[in-house]
Amino acid sequence: MSTPTLNTHWIGGDAVAGSTDTIDVLNPATGEIVARVPSGTVADVDRAIAAATAALPHWAATDISERAAIVRRVSEGLRDRAEDIATTITAEMGAPITLSRHAQAVFPVEVAASVAALAAEFPWTEQIGNSLVVREPIGVVGAITPWNFPLQQIVSKLAPALLAGNTMVLKPSEIAPLTAGILAEVAAEAGLPAGVFNVVHGTGPVVGEAIAAHPGVDMMSFTGSTRVGRRISAVAAETVKRVALELGGKSANVILDDADLAQAVPLGVAMAFTNGGQVCGAWPRMLVPASRHDEIVELAVAAAAEYTVGDPADEATRIGPMASEAQRRRVDGYIERGIADGATLAFGGPGRPDGLPTGAYARPTIFADVAPDAVIAQEEIFGPVLTIIPYAGDDQAVEIANNTTYGLTGGVFGGEERALAIARRLRTGQVDINGAPWNPLAPFGGYKQSGNGREFGRYGIEEFLETKSIQR
Pairing outcome for strands 9-11 and 14-16: antiparallel
DSSP string, 292-351: GHHHHHHHHHHHHTT--BS-TTSTT-SB---SSHHHHHHHHHHHHHHHHTT-EEEE--SS
Could you give the residue numbers annotated as active site? 246
- Distance CA(296)–CA(285), nearest Å, equals 13
Q: What's the 3-state SS for 203-236?
A: CHHHHHHHHHHCCCCCEEEEECCHHHHHHHHHHH
Neighbours of 65 (CB within 10 A): 9
- Distance CA(124)–CA(132), nearest Å, equals 11
Neighbours of 261 (CB within 10 A): 17
Q: Report the SS3 class of residue 115.
A: helix
DSSP string, 30-90: T--EEEEEE---HHHHHHHHHHHHHHHHHHHHS-HHHHHHHHHHHHHHHHHTHHHHHHHHH
- Distance CA(284)–CA(1), nearest Å, equals 32
Q: Report the SS3 class of residue 373.
A: coil
What are 366's strand-pairing partners?
347, 386
- Distance CA(62)–CA(405), nearest Å, equals 42
Strand ranges for 97-251 from DSSP E: 125-128, 131-137, 140-144, 167-171, 197-199, 219-223, 242-246
Q: Report the SS3 class of residue 118.
A: coil
What are 36's strand-pairing partners?
24
Radius of gyration of the chain (CA): 22
Helices (H), 344-445: 375-378, 394-402, 416-425
Taken in order 198, 202, 207, 212, the sign of the CA dihedral is: positive
